[in-house]
């Protein structure tokens, strides 16, 4: 359908005459206007076209030369029938010539010479019979609830009308069509369009199935009777989505209710993902890579990036990877001519409805070429990390736990920074120069390199920590003048941050979590100076806390271990470390001072504790011994008292047992 453009072929002759000079004529010397009408007949499965074309010769005669026109051609579908033309009530012979490597033809008529100032109206008519779904011989479709075909408009003053059933909705590749009901039909009208692909669709007429995507139910819809398309969609969705989740690094985000087969993509020239309508629209073609592309837009869309070339280029790169992994045959887009007549900087590529079809053809190919070249050095793990960061709205300057400054809407600078962060060649900015940037944007690359070098100095000085948030935000948004100002303010803080981490390491302690957070989150001028002072103080206290902790660890003897326990030195050292980690520097210093003062008494406390323990043990021993002596004495007394009683009993028993 992309080739369905209006072409007028003009033949001219020369006669000897004289003519007076007049106002300048149009470039080709011919004024043209037209009114075209296309009637969709669903029952007959055809579209009937009629075009009233008016031409006026505005090429002035020059000297003895007279200019005239005696032929005209229009573009029609290759399988058009009943092609006819008439002018002034006279039928004109029509010759049809096929266009090489195309699904169209030129219909040509001849007439008597049209001289300067003369006007002629030619009425064209032809019928476009529908071809079966997925036919390769014709692009015209008319069926139960759908139709797709091309329309043409000629001249500066042109009108195109489309007539169809009231239940149908219209999509067009160009022009603003106004809908008007006319009895049992509806007429859509647009003005001043050269070509428009037209799709009509009755949304109530379809067959459907429900499939599961990432645990969510999604309806797939096809033309009535097209079970083959439903099978194709269901199979490829099931194969592609798990691969996409792994490549992107995020689960299926949802926000999709319907995937439908529609002729609109044939008319407009591309399929689409509409997050507002929560639907994907693709053509009748069993084109898995295109379906993969649209599924990828669930992650990579206008919320992810504000630039269409990143959106479409990265999405296509991912779709190609999915096709490769699922074994689907796919021919990647070929690199276009960067200096060709259709070329332009990709950052100037307008979104849908803002770009011409020619610009889109170049843009898709160039975007794929540029993104492929920029990311080719990334391995699978790096590629996934890059895509995930872009999807989450992160920049190259975000910390591991930070949500990201962009919040979506990444631009080319963000794309470049993230790619390099995740392992791309730092010289990929040459690809940006070649494909994406205009002259003004190209100049920013030099400033970016200078700013990045200065940023690296700060990043090196502050050790393992991230530079302050204010500086990272300025770098993320490419506000390099702001970044330079912040670097001057934050330089001292970065130096103190590095020293603080070294001090903590020497002290055998982890660097304070709170102090790190204070440094990394600094975002205004006053905070940079405050955090520098706080870090210097914290370094002093860290040394003291480390010494106190080391002193506790150094108590190994039985006497000092007991003294340490008695004075709770271990607990106080732990409290000091906790205070320091939480940023309570003064409290940590006070706790450490108290700890140091008490630690002087460890030996004394230990000896006293042992003496007390020994004394107590001795006293306990004596007490136990006394109790034992008393118990033995009582037992002897009881034994002596009980012995006579036992003897009398024995005598009595003996007396009884002696026989008489």
Note the pLDDT tens digit of each residue in 231-257: 999 999 999 999 999 999 999 998 899
Structure tokens given for 499: 């020293």
Confidence of residue 306 (pLDDT cuts 50, 70, 90): confident
Mean pLDDT computed over 588-593? 66
3-state secondary structure 326-363: HCCCCCCCCCCCCCCCCCCCHHHCCCCCCCCHHHHHHH
Structure tokens given for 296: 């990828």
For 610, other C-beta atoms within 10 Å of its C-beta total 14
Of 159, 155, 157, the residue nearest 175 (C-alpha): 159
CA–CA separation, 425 vs 419, rounded Å? 8
What is the topology classification, in CATH, of domain 206-299? Neutral Protease; domain 2 (1.10.390)
Note the pLDDT tens digit of each residue in 437-470: 999 999 999 999 999 999 999 999 999 999 999 9
Q: Regarding predicted confidence, which is higher, 579 or 45?
A: 45
Q: Regarding predicted confidence, which is higher, 551 or 271?
A: 271
Mean pLDDT computed over 59-70? 89
The residue ranges of DSSP E strands in 214-323, in sequence order, are 216-222, 258-261, 272-274, 279-282
pLDDT at 609 > cutoff 70:
no
Mean pLDDT computed over 423-443? 95
Q: Regarding predicted confidence, which is higher, 347 or 330?
A: 347
pLDDT at 650 > cutoff 60:
no
CA–CA separation, 484 vs 469, rounded Å? 14
pTM of the predicted structure, to 2 decimals: 0.78
Structure tokens given for 298: 């669930």
Q: Regarding predicted confidence, which is higher, 354 or 214?
A: 214
pLDDT at 613: 58
pLDDT at 593: 60
Q: Classify residue 553 as left (phi > 0), alpha (psi -120 to 50) or beta.
A: alpha
Q: What is the DSSP letter of 26?
A: P
CA–CA separation, 318 vs 384, rounded Å? 10
pLDDT at 495: 96
Count Cβ neighbours within 10 Å for each residue of 117-156 and write b for 16 or more, e otherwise. Answer: eeebebbbbbbbbbbebeeeebbbbbbebbbbbbbbbbbe
Structure tokens given for 108: 């040509």
Confidence of residue 603 (pLDDT cuts 50, 70, 90): very low
pLDDT at 46: 97
Share the mean pLDDT of the chain.
84
What is the topology classification, in CATH, of domain 12-201? Immunoglobulin-like (2.60.40)
DSSP element (H, E) containing 95:
strand 94-98
pLDDT at 223 > cutoff 70:
yes
Q: What is the DSSP letter of 468?
A: P
CA–CA separation, 491 vs 495, rounded Å? 6
pLDDT at 64: 86
Note the pLDDT tens digit of each residue in 149-169: 999 888 878 999 999 999 999
3-state secondary structure 519-571: HHCCCCHHHHHHHHHHHHHHHHHHHHHHHHHHHHHCCCCHHHHHHHHHHCHHH
Structure tokens given for 613: 């323990």
pLDDT at 273 > cutoff 50:
yes
Note the pLDDT tens digit of each residue in 81-129: 999 999 999 999 999 999 888 888 999 999 999 999 999 999 999 999 9
pLDDT at 536 > cutoff 50:
yes
pLDDT at 407 > cutoff 70:
no
Residue corresponding to tokens 């981490």: 501
pLDDT at 71: 93
pLDDT at 602: 46
Q: Regarding predicted confidence, which is higher, 398 or 24?
A: 398
pLDDT at 264: 75
Q: From edge to edge, which strands make up the β-sheet containing 12-16?
A: 12-16, 65-77, 104-114, 94-98
pLDDT at 555 > cutoff 50:
no
Structure tokens given for 24: 């300048």
Confidence of residue 420 (pLDDT cuts 50, 70, 90): very high
CA–CA separation, 205 vs 397, rounded Å? 51
Q: Where are the domains of the chain?
A: 12-201, 206-299, 306-437, 469-600
> H helices within 200-269, ranges in order?
227-248, 264-268
pLDDT at 575: 66
pLDDT at 38 > cutoff 70:
yes
pLDDT at 636: 60
């Amino acid at each position: 359908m992309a080739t369905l453009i209006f072409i007028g072929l003009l033949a001219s002759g020369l006669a000897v005459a004289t003519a007076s000079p007049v106002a300048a004529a149009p470039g080709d010397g011919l004024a043209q206007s037209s009114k075209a009408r296309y009637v969709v007949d669903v029952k007959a499965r055809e579209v009937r076209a009629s075009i009233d074309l008016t031409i006026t010769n505005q090429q002035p005669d020059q000297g003895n030369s007279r200019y005239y026109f005696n032929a005209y051609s229009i573009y029609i579908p290759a399988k058009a029938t009943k092609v006819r033309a008439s002018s002034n009530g006279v039928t004109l012979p029509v010759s049809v010539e096929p266009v090489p490597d195309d699904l169209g033809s030129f219909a040509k008529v001849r007439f008597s010479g049209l001289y300067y100032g003369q006007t002629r109206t030619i009425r064209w008519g032809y019928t476009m019979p529908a071809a079966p779904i997925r036919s390769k011989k014709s692009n015209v479709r008319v069926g139960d609830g759908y139709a797709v075909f091309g329309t043409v408009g000629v001249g500066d003053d042109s009108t195109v009308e489309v007539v169809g059933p009231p239940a149908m909705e219209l999509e067009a590749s160009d022009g603003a069509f106004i809908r008007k009901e006319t009895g049992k039909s509806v007429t859509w009208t647009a003005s001043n369009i050269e070509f428009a692909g037209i799709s009509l669709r009755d949304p109530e007429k379809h067959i459907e199935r429900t499939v599961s995507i990432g645990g969510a139910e999604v309806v797939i819809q096809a033309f009535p009777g097209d079970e083959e398309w439903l099978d194709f969609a269901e199979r490829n969705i099931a194969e592609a989505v798990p691969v996409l989740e792994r490549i992107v690094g995020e689960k299926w985000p949802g926000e999709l209710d319907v995937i439908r087969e529609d002729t609109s993509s044939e008319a407009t020239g591309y399929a689409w993902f509409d997050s507002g309508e929560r639907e994907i629209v693709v053509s009748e073609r069993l084109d898995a890579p295109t379906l993969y592309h649209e599924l990828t837009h669930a992650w990579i869309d206008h919320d992810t990036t504000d630039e269409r070339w990143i959106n479409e280029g990265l999405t296509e790169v991912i779709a190609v990877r999915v096709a490769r992994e699922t074994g689907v045959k796919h021919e990647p887009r070929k690199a276009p001519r960067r200096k060709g007549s259709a070329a332009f900087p990709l950052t100037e590529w307008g979104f849908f409805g803002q770009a011409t079809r020619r610009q889109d053809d170049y843009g898709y190919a160039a975007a794929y070429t540029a993104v492929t070249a920029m990311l080719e050095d990334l391995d699978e793990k790096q590629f996934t990390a890059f895509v995930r960061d872009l999807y989450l709205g992160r920049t190259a300057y975000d910390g591991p736990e930070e949500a990201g400054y962009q919040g979506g809407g990444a631009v080319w600078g963000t794309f470049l920074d993230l790619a390099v962060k995740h392992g791309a060649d730092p010289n990929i900015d040459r690809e940006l120069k070649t494909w994406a940037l205009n002259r003004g944007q190209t100049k920013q690359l030099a400033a970016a390199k200078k700013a990045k070098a200065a940023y690296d100095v700060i990043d090196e000085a502050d050790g393992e920590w991230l530079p302050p948030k204010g500086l990272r935000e300025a770098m993320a948004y490419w506000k390099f003048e702001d970044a330079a100002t912040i670097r001057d303010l934050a330089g001292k803080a970065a130096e103190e941050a590095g020293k603080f981490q070294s001090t903590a390491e020497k002290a055998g302690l982890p660097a304070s979590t709170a102090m790190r957070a204070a440094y990394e989150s600094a975002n205004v001028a006053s905070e940079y100076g405050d955090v520098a002072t706080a870090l210097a103080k914290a370094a002093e206290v860290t040394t003291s806390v480390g010494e106190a902790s080391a002193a506790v660890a150094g108590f190994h003897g039985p006497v000092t271990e007991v003294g340490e326990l008695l004075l709770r030195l271990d607990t106080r050292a732990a409290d000091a470390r906790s205070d320091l980690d939480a940023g309570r520097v003064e409290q940590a210093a006070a706790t450490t001072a108290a700890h140091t003062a008490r630690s002087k008494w460890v030996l004394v406390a230990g000896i006293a504790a042992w003496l007390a323990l020994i004394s107590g043990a001795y006293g306990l021993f004596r007490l136990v011994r006394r109790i034992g002596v008393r118990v033995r004495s009582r037992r002897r007394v009881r034994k002596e008292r009980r012995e006579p009683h036992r003897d009398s009993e024995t005598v009595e028993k003996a007396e009884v047992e002696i026989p008489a």
